[in-house]
Amino acid sequence: MKQRFDGEVSVIFTSILMNVRIINQSSHPLPAYETAHAAGMDLRANLNTPVVLKPLERTLVPTGLFIELPIGYEAQVRPRSGLAAKKGVTVLNSPGTIDADYRGEIKVILVNLSNEPFTIENGERVAQLVIAAHEHIQWETVTELAETARGAGGFGSTGK
């Protein structure tokens, strides 16, 4: 447990490290947190030859990584903000979910939303991987739901 003092407020937080089994069949280093408080780790393309992604084209990019997550966790594949902002390339099904029982290779669905071709090179950082806890639920069938101030308003109903 660590304690940090911010002016008048003392904040206590804990860092929990969880072991996740991984097989790395790429020639690249394992994904790692680049800063002390980063939520995601970069995933790198594992390619024999560069892949050119034309405007509005999508492709499945292999990483050479295989993981075994603990039950109750998922790995979320998310876009890299710099790649999206600078090149218009993003993860199509963002966030992509890797379930705890999946044992295949992690692959990233990239799409080029720019007007220019984008070349994916071997080792290029193409996405981020975030590990997150999740819950399972049990549905309770009812005939009505509790009232709220918002009610059934959606799709912009709370903004002006």
Number of domains observed in the structure of the chain: 1
Cβ–Cβ contacts within 10 Å for residue 100, how many?
15
pLDDT of 7 strictly over 90:
no
In a domain, 65, yes or no: yes
User: Domain for residue 25, yes or no?
Assistant: yes
151 in a structural domain: no
**Which amino acid belongs to residue 95?**
P
The tokens for 80 are 């890299």
Query: Is residue 61, in this structure, part of any structural domain at all?
Result: yes
Cβ atoms of residues 112 and 55 within 8 Å: yes
pTM confidence score: 0.85
Residue 17 has pLDDT above 80, yes or no: yes
Question: In 3D, which of 121, 120, 123 has the Cα closest to residue 110?
Answer: 120
In a domain, 142, yes or no: no
Q: What is the CATH number of the domain that holds 77?
A: 2.70.40.10
- Residue 157 in any domain: the answer is no
Rounded CA separation 160/158 (Å)? 7
When pLDDT is averaged across residues 20-25 and rounded to a whole number, the result is: 98
Classify residue 59: in a domain, yes or no. Answer: yes
- Domain range enclosing 99: 20-133
For residue 82, the surrounding DSSP H or E stretch is helix 81-87
Specify the 3-state DSSP secondary structure of 59.
strand
3-state DSSP assignment of residue 84 = helix
pLDDT one-digit tens code per residue, 32-91: 999 999 999 999 999 999 999 999 999 999 999 999 999 999 999 999 999 999 999 999
- Per-residue pLDDT of 98-157, as tens digits, reads 999 999 999 999 999 999 999 999 999 999 999 999 999 999 999 999 999 888 888 877
Q: Is residue 155 part of a domain?
A: no
